[in-house]
Amino acid sequence: MRQLISLGLLLTTITACAASKPMATDASPAMGNMDASAAAAAPVPLEESHFARTAQGTLSEANLQKILDQPLELDLPGRVGVLPIVEAEDWRGPSPSYDRVTPGLSRFADKLPADDGFAHVTEMMPIPSGALGMEALREIAARYKLRYLMLYREHVNETQRANGVAAGYLSVVGAFVLPGSTLEVDGYAEASLFDVKTGLLLFTVRERLGDERRSNVWQRDRKLGDMREALATKAAEELAKRTRVALEDLRLALDTPKALPAAVAQPIEATVVGAGQ
């Protein structure tokens, strides 16, 4: 009797194992097909620049649509270069004016968020604004072997004008000691994250700078230069903070999946509820 019971239990176990094997075999191809479909449905990130390799950097309609359709890829941590964009020396050539290198550049580079994905930050030689086209940015980045560029630019206007105290210049002594001139500095500093691989600008942040002070007639140009340097240095620190916020916002935007349309999401929800019931 005991042998019959043992034999019955053994047959039951063998039957259960045999029945479970076809289910596992059938489920494996289904899961493989789902993974393959998901991989095929995932859009390929933008891998190259579609802009023409000319100073104008023209873009065809087909390439424009490719850029808009393909998602961005944020490859961090990576090496980043801070490139100063300065005004050209004159209209006859693209040579930048090295005498007017942006004073806030070094402070901005020092304050960049190295802990937020910029593994290494380096300053770069200046190039003139717009004189060589956007493709020149990719070429100079390749010489430094950089994945991203921070394009740093300062636009500042310096003016000096007479104020009401200048009436005292009618006296001989007043012309030398009275603060009859008003010195003004006004403008902004900006930084843009440039993707060397795709040739796209990922974001731009800007910080305004400006101040005015009264002065006598002595060394007004030097005083304007000192004002500009102090304002640019302070603005560079705030610009670095704005860069940190913009970089984090960009990360969140790229990591957050797009919501499915209501027409697509509703059948999926209904299927899940039905399965639970």
Q: Write the CB contacts of 244 (distance below 8 Å, at least 6 apart in sequence).
A: 113, 116
As a whole number of Å, the end-to-end CA separation of the chain is 45
More confident residue, 158 or 261: 158
pLDDT tier, 10 (very low <50, low <70, confident <90, very high otherwise) = very low
Q: What is the pLDDT of residues 127-142, one digit of tens each?
A: 765 556 788 888 889 9
Domain boundary assignment for the chain = 61-255
Q: What is the pLDDT of residues 199-223, one digit of tens each?
A: 899 999 999 999 888 888 888 888 9
Tokens 């002595």 locate to 218
Domain 61-255 sits in CATH at 3.30.160
pLDDT tier, 36 (very low <50, low <70, confident <90, very high otherwise) = low
More confident residue, 98 or 256: 256
For 227-233, what is the mean pLDDT? 90
User: Residue 96 pLDDT more than 60?
Assistant: no
For 9-13, what is the mean pLDDT? 50
Measured CA to CA, the distance from residue 83 to residue 123 in angstroms comes to 6
* pLDDT of 42: 66
Measured CA to CA, the distance from residue 276 to residue 172 in angstroms comes to 96
Q: What angle do CA 219, 223, 228 make, to 5 degrees?
A: 150
pTM listed for this prediction: 0.71
* pLDDT of 271: 40
Q: What is the pLDDT of residues 238-258, one digit of tens each?
A: 999 999 899 989 988 888 765
